[in-house]
Amino acid sequence: MSSGKKLKIEFKMVQQHIIHISPEFSLLEGESHFKRIRSEKISNVLIDCSAVSIWPSSACAFLADFIKRLNHRNIKWSLNSIPEDTLKTINFMLYRKPAATHLIKKDEIPVVDDTLSWVVTSWHNIVSTVKLLEDITFWTLLGPFFKHGFRYSRTLFEISERGMRSLGIVALVAGIMGLILAIQAAAQLQNFGATIYIANLVGMAIVRELGPLLAALLTAGRSGSAITAELGSMVASEEMDALRAMGVSVTKYIVVPKFVALFVALPCLTIFADVIGITGGYLFSTIQLGIPSSHYIDQTIQAISANDVMIGLIKSIADAIIIASIAVHQGLNTSGGAEGIGRSTTKSVVHSIIFIAIAHLFFTILFYFTGHTLKFNV
């Protein structure tokens, strides 16, 4: 029986296009092969690897990447002349599953975005720093009443380390600052024939602001960073865990001597910076400008009151608390080995400088509104 219609059968030969991988197979070579495959609309590829004798991981990764692109375009492929080990590597790169982790749900504060995460972290930092300060206050005030509650010899060593050894650098910077102030002031005051008031300007600026600020910044850079690095490396080498395992309070044993040392050393360094800074101004004024020595000294004594010195000291005590608590907090919360220690040390110095600036601004505003602002006794 004939249907009248001819059954037409088409035999379409699917031709396999051969790609020869060169011994120096690279992403670039993969790209050029891929471009050709797309332009010639090839649907079946035989990847011939017979020319490659050495298969470094990079070559496997390039080939896996090439195959992934073929898969993405639904282009059939097969591999020829590839060593078994290399095939295993490429199979791993193509079909590996993400590493399995055991996940559990925890009742946590949902972190909406990075900003909220930053706020939460900052809040945790503030809370832990306040707790640390509580602990430090307890051991500093009540420690001496306990047996082995206060390490006197270690505290003296720390005072020497944080204070005595900083004298040189403080003297250098404070002296230079006094000179600069005097030179700048001279340039202006000479126009009015008021060069004697250089003493007032240098004295007041150094005692009330620059002395405490200089001493604090140098201490943050020199001692704050050293404390953070020391505590950080103790954390990394499990020394803190060893102390805790022995039941010895880390705050009492390690932190308090450093804290007390800064508390004592920084006001002393501030007074020292004041004296050297004023001396810098004095030297310039007497030698260069010819102001009589006794006049300059009288003018300085007249300009600076005990109140001004106290204001400077209050600032330096606040600075000591800021530097010590930030340095200790960063040091104790170090994680991540050597890199972590570097990170903590940087944070310690940067945070200290920021908070010192804020504290000085706060005190300046406070003293301004309470009538203790900078005045010239003309």
Partner 1 sequence: MNKKTVIEVKNLITSYDDNVVLDNISFSTHEEEIFAVLGGSGCGKTTLLKHLLGLLRPDAGSISILDFDITKANDDEMQPLREQIGMVFQGGALFNSMTLAENVSLPLEEYTDYSTRVIRDIVDWKLHLVGLDHARDYLPAELSGGMKKRAAIARAMVMDPKLLFFDEHTTGLDPIMAAELDRIIVRLRDELNITVVVVTHDLTSIRRISDRAIMIADAKIIASGTIKEMEQSGDSRVINFFMQHDKEEQLI
Which CB, 85 or 241, lies closer to partner 1? 241
Q: Cβ 227 to partner 1, closest distance in Å?
A: 13
**Distance of alpha carbon 62 from alpha carbon 22, whole angstroms:** 12
Q: With beta carbons less than 8 A apart as the criterion, state whether 252 and 143 touch.
A: yes
Q: Cβ 360 to partner 1, closest distance in Å?
A: 34
Q: With beta carbons less than 8 A apart as the criterion, state whether 200 and 303 touch.
A: yes
Q: Cβ 342 to partner 1, closest distance in Å?
A: 19
Which CB, 155 or 270, lies closer to partner 1? 155
Which CB, 41 or 106, lies closer to partner 1? 106
Which CB, 43 or 125, lies closer to partner 1? 125
Binding site for partner 1 (CB under 8 A): 101-104, 106, 147-148, 234, 237-239, 241-242, 244-248
**Distance of alpha carbon 261 from alpha carbon 265, whole angstroms:** 6
Residue of 345, 101, 337 whose CA lies nearest to 234: 337
Q: Cβ 240 to partner 1, closest distance in Å?
A: 9
CA angle 134/138/141 to nearest 5° reads 130
CA 316, 320, 323, 325 dihedral sign is: negative
Q: Cβ 248 to partner 1, closest distance in Å?
A: 5
Which CB, 85 or 238, lies closer to partner 1? 238
Q: Cβ 257 to partner 1, closest distance in Å?
A: 11
**Distance of alpha carbon 174 from alpha carbon 286, whole angstroms:** 18
CA angle 303/304/306 to nearest 5° reads 145
Which phi and psi (to 5°) does residue 282 adopt? -60, -45
Which phi and psi (to 5°) does residue 104 adopt? -130, 155
**Distance of alpha carbon 69 from alpha carbon 31, whole angstroms:** 10
